[in-house]
Amino acid sequence: MSGNEQFFGMVRNGEFYVFAPQHLEGATVKLTTTWIEEPHANESGVIDLAEFEGKIIEVSGRDSGKWIYSAKVVEEAGPVLSDFLKRVFLKDEVRQKRCALVIGHDKESPGIINKNRNLSEFQFNNQLYGLFEKKVKHTVICRVNRRFHAELPDDINELDPDFIISLHCNAGDGKTSGVEVLYYHKSQAGKRIAEILMKYLVEYLGLPNRGVIPKTSEDECGLLLRYSTAPCVIAKTFFMDNDADVNRAMDNLDGLADAFAKAIDEVSDNVKMEHQPIGTDGFI
Ligand SMILES: [Zn+2]
């Protein structure tokens, strides 16, 4: 049918964020297959854009401000054009670094548990994440749900983050106290990220600095550090089996969230990122 217009834009959160034509630039619209003459039927014809999330697409149809009617996804832009269009139309956002955030463990296997508080690593870090995610000012945070260890690096690499932080706690003899941050021993960027995170955590918590610790792929947690291409650190923020450490952390979770958020933004600003090649064997 003639009279259809062409639209370029990006799919964000399931909706179409329009780049062009100019009169719709910056608008978020929904796509429906229905005709403009059937306004009440919009929802029934809505096009599910999930498969295009984060992608640049060309759409044909007719617009009414909030909807594009008779809509059809014509084409998905290739990587070179996508990259160019994102740079032009998302100026500030594109410059923001992306941090993949992995919350260690899950509901079914929640990690180390502090019995006195009935608090698990997963519960703690999940709660903490909810707080600092909103405080981060100029870094895009992508949460990664943990699956099996072996698949985790692939899941993360698919997101193409600039850096990765995994949240854990420590366990010792019940008395050991302090902060540790682990990084892959060959990654200079990983070491810098670990140092920045350590600085903020120790400054806020006032717990002992147990050091930024280089790990090889054969160490515990080494798989994630080695097989994720972006620099990666594992924060062991305090000792979960030490009541004093737990009390300190729980004392003001919001303050700890602030420390994480500031550290993440400083990493975005100041660390020169370098990706490492994915190896299959022979690396330690
Ligand atoms: Zn853990």
Q: Print pLDDT tens along the chain (284 aa).
A: 457 899 999 998 788 999 999 889 888 999 999 887 666 777 788 999 989 988 899 999 998 888 899 999 999 998 888 888 887 887 666 568 899 999 988 888 899 999 999 999 999 999 999 999 889 988 989 888 766 566 778 888 888 899 999 999 999 999 999 999 999 999 999 999 999 999 999 999 999 999 999 998 877 777 788 888 899 999 999 999 999 999 999 999 999 999 999 999 999 988 988 777 654 433 43
Could you confirm whether domain 96-270 is CATH 3.90.1150.10? no
E strand spans, the chain: 5-12, 15-20, 28-31, 56-63, 67-76, 97-103, 113-114, 119-120, 139-144, 163-170, 179-184, 209-215, 232-239
CA of 121 to the centre of ligand 1 (A): 6
CA of 106 to the centre of ligand 1 (A): 10
Tell me, what amino acid is at 130?
G
The owner of tokens 């100041």 is: 270
Beta-bridge partners for 63: 68
pLDDT at 282: 36
CA of 186 to the centre of ligand 1 (A): 22
CA of 105 to the centre of ligand 1 (A): 6
Every domain range in the chain assigned CATH 2.40.50: 5-91
CA of 1 to the centre of ligand 1 (A): 58
CA of 168 to the centre of ligand 1 (A): 4
The pTM for the full model equals 0.68
pLDDT at 181: 97
Beta-bridge partners for 144: 102
Rounded distance between C-alpha atoms, residue 266 and residue 200, angstroms:
10
CA of 221 to the centre of ligand 1 (A): 9
Tell me, what amino acid is at 168?
H
In contact, 94 and 87? CB cutoff 8 Å: yes
CA of 264 to the centre of ligand 1 (A): 20
CATH classification (class only), 5-91: mainly beta
Rounded distance between C-alpha atoms, residue 63 and residue 28, angstroms:
12
Buried b (16+ CB within 10 A) or exposed e, 171-195: beeeeebbbbbbbbbebebbbbbbb
Residue count (the chain) = 284
pLDDT at 257: 97
CA of 15 to the centre of ligand 1 (A): 36
The owner of tokens 């420390």 is: 259
CA of 266 to the centre of ligand 1 (A): 25
pLDDT at 280: 42
Beta carbons within 8 Å of 19's beta carbon, 6+ residues apart: 8, 9, 10, 25, 56, 85, 88, 89
Q: Please work out, in degrees rounded to the nearest 5, the angle formed at the alpha carbon of residue 63 by the alpha carbons of 61 and 68.
A: 60
Rounded distance between C-alpha atoms, residue 206 and residue 209, angstroms:
9
What would you report as the CA-atom Rg of the chain, rounded to the nearest whole angstrom? 23
Rounded distance between C-alpha atoms, residue 10 and residue 28, angstroms:
9
pLDDT at 192: 97
Every domain range in the chain assigned CATH 3.40.630.40: 96-270
Rounded distance between C-alpha atoms, residue 272 and residue 253, angstroms:
30
Under DSSP, the state recorded for 100 is E
